[in-house]
Chains A and B, each alone.
Chain A
Amino acid sequence: DVKVTQSSRYLVKRTGEKVFLECVQDMDHENMFWYRQDPGLGLRLIYFSYDVKMKEKGDIPEGYSVSREKKERFSLILESASTNQTSMYLCASSLYVNNQPQHFGDGTRLSIL
């Protein structure tokens, strides 16, 4: 069974702080994704990575950056947290081969005060 682990279930930070959200998968998947989930807006893609040190912008990359130094780990960085980044953040991974499902972590509920 694929396991995608996000480092925190709940996180509270202050405006202006640099915030790191960590995600680790144990299935040797090439692709990893970061989403933001807000009520009524579904899942919106922030960034994804298809290989170590490779990254591509999703639909809402502004205010975020990512890091992928190892295949199993994909980090989302909020450079200077703002209150409008309060949200649920979901990480997912998938194989590189096309038409394969994404597998999600449990999510991190982030509150920016």
Chain B
Amino acid sequence: GENVEQHPSTLSVQEGDSAVIKCTYSDSASNYFPWYKQELGKRPQLIIDIRSNVGEKKDQRIAVTLNKTAKHFSLHITETQPEDSAVYFCAATGSYGNNRLAFGKGNQVVVIP
């Protein structure tokens, strides 16, 4: 099956700086890569996703880049704010089908005011 790894496990940034989280995946058949944000005590919520036919996607202060050759994709958050503090999960489809996803273990992002 698909194996997704996230680095680093914890990331602390000063408010206003950028944060970058990188995920690697193992199955070259993966073609959909969502990112979820989970605030403390809340549900994981989709914040951005990318499909394998594009290399980059942006939505205001967040962006995702995909390198299919190297099998990694990254989440970029610019101008970080305290409300960006959360756990972020990346995921990939592998060759499972039925929209089954393999999730990484999550990154704790702490934005220091």
Contact = CB atoms under 8 A, between A and B. Distances in A.
A31 B43 contact: no
Nearest to A45: B100
Tell me if A's interface is mostly helix, strand, loop or mixed. loop
Contacts of A48: 98, 100
Interface residues on B, range: 20 to 34
A76 interface: no
Interface string B19-40: 0000000000001101010000
Interface centre among A40, A59, A98, A103 (most CB of B within 10 A): A98
Contact of A95 (B1, B93, B99): B99
Interface of A: 31, 33, 40-45, 48, 50, 56, 58-59, 90, 94-107
Interface of B: 1, 31-32, 34, 36, 42-46, 49, 51, 89, 93, 97-101, 103-106
